[in-house]
Structure 1
Amino acid sequence: MGVTGAALETELKFELSRDDRLPRLAGLGPITTVGPARRMVQTAVYHDTPDLALLAAKHTLRRRTGGTDAGWHLKAPGGQSDDGAWRRTEYTAPLGSARSFVPASLREVIAPIIGREVLLPVCVLRTVRVRRELLDADGARIGLLEDDTVEAWRPGRAGSELRITWREVEVEIVTAEPAVAISAPEAEAASSSVVAAVLAGFETIGVAPSRAPSKLARALESLGLQPGPSVAVPEDVSIAADVTGARLAVWRYAAAQLGVIQALTGAVRDDAPDAVHKMRVATRRLRATLRTIRPWLDAEQTQAMRRQVRWLTRTLGGARDGEVVRERILGELDELPRRDVRGPIRNRLRRELNSTHAQAHERAVAALDSPRYERLLANIADFLLALPWRKRRRRSLHDLLLAATHRVQKRAVLADEADTPAEREFELHEVRKKGKAARYAVEAATKFAPEPHELGDAAEGAADDAEEAEAAARDSAGAEGEESAGRQPLDPAQELAAWVDLQELLGDHQDAVVARETLRRIAAQARAAGEDTYSYGVLVGRETQRLADNASKIEKALARALGEAG
């Protein structure tokens, strides 16, 4: 979906009370006639980061329905001139479906501002607009006078919104009809004459141009929101709702993963290096986070959300595996001494691996272009904006981290007690998956935890009270709480580093297993074609040796990650 328009607009903005009359503009300057009133209702959903980074950079991004210009609109600042007129560059994109997410074309424009931060609905504006055209002596439209009654609220749980209303008048300057070609100086002169006439008209009723840059800025200010750390998060994850900051930490982490998915959609379509891998990791992190905090949430709704995300994880899996195996095997082949490279192995491997990757990538792109993907991103955003919290939280985030670690430990015991190599391979893969979940939980609790200045002075005592209450709840929670409380964990920073080390080893282990099986499969094809398969055996042997070398390293890393090392 491309940007369908990018135009420079000039407008004046005036604030009026509900009963104020509009000035008479006909006969002022080039304005000969004011056309009849046309009423319309528009609803605009504004998107920004949780820190309101776009607002801080004086950009606005909205999806608007109703009126004559429904669609996505991105406005970039041009500043306010001495005469009070605002000049902005506006980019537009098609409306899409009701569940559509921010078009990639518009996201690219603001990428230097937000990077891979998540974009979520932060404000809804419903505008009852009465539009009148300003016409010159030839009957050409030279401006639009739009009398707006605005209602604004933050999206979230239905029925809980604080709503504010106000009235403002916008006058958008139109320099010429689209079919009329005029020079830039002529356009500037025409615009200035209309601006002067409008200013003179409003001066007669004692109204000067507004200094408010946008409806969104005014709405958020009235709702008590200004750019800053996590100011636009849902109220039930804010510090005011949870003074320990635990809810905010896990929410930030989960939202960050949605941001990565949003930002990489175009890159995955283009098969950019490592894009599939990073998006797939983001889906795993999101699912793992929801699994970790499931005791805090409605289990049925949370599990349903995890299943939706799992579809994307699996969809990306084929493309990711094909990418990793291709790079790994071809890299190993390049490292072989020339004497060990026999037959047409290089051509066959490139052909087979490239074909496998291309087919998997094609399936991934088809998924990203599907309505299901569009719905998924919208559903994740809705879920994050209204998490289904349970009324009583019986376990602290620390308890949940220990529970995640305990799940790894149980699978590690099964791997150690496996009777066959195949069973051990399976259990080590399970250790890898559970270990990732534990690692991601630690990341959320450490890297995304609120800073002391965010918690505020009053939070320390309240946090102590909360911890005491949670400790009492754990005492009555039964065996599971006692089981997790028996082991002293490592420092969180050390624990995170331990999980990273373990995942690197287990990841390499899994890649070696997949590469070895892929080599055996392609070797069978080569053998059937009468080709020399000696080099395949050498490559299989290298992967087998790597698996053996990693075995003791995995045991040590697992012990350290579980806090059992000396």
Structure 2
Amino acid sequence: MAQSKRDTVHTYAAPVADDASWLPDLTPVDPGAHLVDGGVRDLDAVYYDTDDLRLTRTRATLRRSTGDTDAGWHLGLPLPGDIREEVEAPLSEEVPDELRDLTLSRTRGDPLRPVARIRTTRSVRHLLNGTGAVVAELRLDTVRAQSLLDRGGNALWTELEVELAEDGDRALRDAVEKALRDRGAERAGTRSEVARALTGTGSPVDPSPDPRPASAPGSSGEHVLTYVRGLVATLTDLDPAVRRGRPDAVHRMRVACRRLRGCLRTYRPLLDRSVTDPVRADLKWLGGELGAERDHEVLAERLATGVGELPGELVLGPVTARLRAWDVARRAQTRRRTLDALASPRYRALLDSLHRLVAEPPLRAGAAAGKPRKVMGKALRKEDGRLRRRMERALSLPPGAERDAAIHHARKAAKRVRYAAEAARPALGKPAGRLRRRAKAVQKAGGGHHDAVVARDALRRLAVSAHAAGEPGFTWGVLHGQERAAAGAREQQLSRMWGRAPQPGPRGKRVG
């Protein structure tokens, strides 16, 4: 089984060769702080990647390490900010299947092969505080790198790594860094060790991130492409977290699909639809597959909370047990559906399509070169008009199933307005920001209404099952009544909110 850990190692370019006496005096870091010799280790790591370095280009690394306590396979994945997550697996001859799967969103199924070998002689020093506890480990490395690509060479450098103890704080890190800077050390940057190795050995394949396709500065096409590029990167980064069942990962990946799909729809006048329409269809499919797990997660939590908040005298029969059994069965089914989707040929084809979308953007020369206020403003007004029509129709209907469906339909339009405004916000400024906030409020209220409607349907099915088993149905009825009241309250909220919604401004002046 793969295991994970958060890696907060910081690397510095050491100004001298392998000479531990160069290390600075760290007593100012903490009263009584001192360094203790931790010995010398010899490390050997072979890095794996595709022929065109797809892992390295996206700041991920996969290595097979020997010669230290962390011998085994290590997959390094970038996280927001200044940290990485490392997933480990036991030492074996071939890349473990679980790690291969976690690289799929980057490799897109291309084979992994050795691309570099890095051998390190490591001199270790432990930084102890006044009480004798280890607060950090300093590692002075002499690194010998060898490219395993055709026509690759060799390189040699010295670097210093500092890793805080698990409970180390930012103030300690900053103090250590200041002491190192005073001695001439500088941060080595965010490039991975394998990227530095391949660059230093004269690799015939450039390990730098893929160049961003050019578009006219300040144009509508540039703003849309920037938004699309960010979403594709988000989806790529979330894939491993979804596979491993990390909290909120399915939800975030589903939202990325929706945002990307909405952007491609709203700004389709700027894009070649023969390219983007199939991508939108595949994003809709993927969002639906992810949605099964996410929707059940939300529903199960809502029902459990509802039961937990009832007074004890209103809970009749084995309500909690039935709810738990239903949750376990459904959760297993929806989880399997998510993993099957990520293992499918259709998903792999979607990854290829998304890569081509950002590598060779299908921008239409005329519209994409247009000014954002005109081109993007027009697209936003069109989406806002669709939202208004749907919302007005929904609120004109009498309470019932038709109105419930119409509110859900309007909520989807609010999402598209919100996501389109997010893409336009850097170009259009505050008007787009105001429109985004209003659409988000409508989406939230409509979402609360939809959750209540879905919960009512689930409660009815649970009540039928309970009745068939000879169990009391009273508690299910109480919960059903509460959800009906919650849906009614959301309808009133939407009506009040829509009554205060601003009208469209003059053509070309405002977007909401």
TM range (shorter): 0.5 to 0.7
Shift of residue 356, structure 1, vs aligned partner: 1.2
Distance 1:520 1:545, change over 3 A: same
CA–CA separation in structure 2 for the residues paired with 1:256 and 1:48: 18
Q: 1:351 to 1:46 in 2, by over 3 A?
A: closer
Aligned pair partner of 1:414 in 381, 387, 393: 393
SS in 1 for 2:463: helix
Look up the match of 1:170.
154
1:91 and 1:262 map into 2 onto residues whose CA distance is 28
Normalised by the size of structure 2, how large is the TM-score? Answer: 0.61
Q: Secondary structure at the match of 1:235?
A: coil
One-letter code aligned to 1:377: L
- How far apart are residue 369 of structure 1 and its match? 2.5
Gap change, CA 1:561 and 1:145, over 3 Å in 2: closer
Matched, 1:392 2:338: no
Equivalence for 2:436: 496
Cα distance, 1:120–1:420 mapped onto 2, change above 3 Å: same
The correspondence for 1:44, drawn from 48, 52, 64, is 52
Residue 243 of structure 2, aligned match among 269, 286, 304: 269
- Check whether the contact 2:266–2:379 (CA below 8 A) recurs between aligned residues: yes
Q: Is the 8 A contact 1:319 1:361 kept in 2?
A: yes
Matching of residue 313 in structure 1 with residue 287 in structure 2: yes
- Residue 426 of structure 1 aligns with an amino acid whose one-letter code is A
**1:301 equivalent among 275, 280, 288:** 275
**Higher mean C-alpha deviation, range 295-304 or range 365-374:** 365-374
Residue identity matched to 1:339: E
Aligned-pair CA distance for 1:419: 5.7
Residue by residue, what CA displacement relative to the aligned partner does 1:120-159 show, whole Å, maximum 9, x if unpaired? 89xxxxxxx9xxxxxxxxxxxx99798976xxxxxxxxxx
Unaligned runs of 5+ in 2: 4-49, 86-104, 108-114, 116-143, 158-194, 506-511
Q: Distance in 2 between matches of 1:43 and 1:217?
A: 18
> Which protein is bigger by CA-based radius of gyration?
1
**Deviations 1:322-345 (Å, cap 9, x if unpaired)?**
101000010011111111111111
1:82-481 maps to which residues of 2 (within 5 A)?
Answer: 106-108=75-77, 113=82, 169-170=153-154, 213=196, 216=199, 232-236=211-215, 241=216, 243-393=217-367, 396-418=375-397, 421-446=400-425
Quote how far apart the aligned CAs of 1:256 are. 2.5
Deviation at 1:495, TM superposition (A): 2.1
**Cα separation, 2, equivalents of 1:439 and 1:143:** 49
Q: Give, in whole Å, the separation in 1 of the partners of 2:406 and 2:249.
A: 29
Residue 522 of structure 1, CA deviation: 0.6
Q: Give the superposition deviation at 1:402.
A: 1.1
Contact 1:495 1:561 in 2 (8 A): no
Going from structure 1 to structure 2, the CA distance change for 1:546 and 1:213 (only over 3 Å counts) comes to closer
TM-score normalised by length of structure 1: 0.55
Change (3 A) 1:318 1:172: same
Counterpart contact for 1:404–1:434, Cα < 8 Å: yes
Q: Give the whole-Å Cα distance in 2 for the aligned partners of 1:363 and 1:316.
A: 8
Report the Cα distance in structure 2 between the residues aligned to 1:495 and 1:398, rounded to whole angstroms: 11
- Residues 91 and 278 of structure 1: CA distance in aligned 2, closer, same or farther (over 3 Å): farther
In the TM superposition, residue 319 of structure 1 has moved relative to its aligned partner by: 0.7
CA offset digits 1:452-501 (Å, max 9, x no partner): xxxxxxxxxxxxxxxxxxxxxxxxxxxxxxxxxxxxxx833222221221
Count of residues paired in the alignment: 359
Please give the alpha-carbon distance, in whole angstroms, between the structure 1 residues aligned to 2:147 and 2:256: 46
State the secondary structure of the residue aligned to 2:274.
helix
Q: CA deviation at 1:45?
A: 3.6
Q: Which runs of 5+ in 1 are unaligned?
A: 4-41, 55-60, 62-71, 77-89, 94-104, 122-128, 130-141, 150-167, 174-211, 452-489
Q: Is the 8 A contact 2:145 2:201 kept in 1?
A: no
Q: Secondary structure at the match of 2:447?
A: helix
Displacement after TM superposition at 1:232 (Å): 3.8
- Pick from 458, 475, 480 the counterpart of residue 535 of structure 1: 475
| Pairwise CA distance, 1:300 | 2.3
| Cα-to-partner distance string for 1:284-341 (whole Å, 9 max, x where unaligned) | 1110011111111112221111001111101011111110100001001111111111
1:423 deviation in Å? Answer: 1.8
**2:453 aligned residue (513, 518, 534):** 513
Question: Residues 226, 319 of structure 1: CA spacing in aligned structure 2 closer, same or farther, 3 A cutoff?
Answer: closer
Q: 1:148 to 1:266 in 2, by over 3 A?
A: closer
Q: Secondary structure at 1:551's aligned position in 2?
A: helix
Say which SS state the counterpart of residue 108 (structure 1) adopts. Answer: strand
SS at match of 2:154: strand
The whole-number CA distance in structure 1 between the counterparts of 2:155 and 2:55 is 24
State the shift of 1:413 in Å.
2.7
- In structure 2, what residue type is equivalent to 1:442? A
Identity %: 31
Distance in 2 (CA, whole Å) between partners of 1:561 and 1:48 is: 48
CA contact (8 A) 1:107 1:263 kept: no
Partner-residue secondary structure (3-state), 2:245: coil
C-alpha deviation, 1:248, in angstroms: 3.1
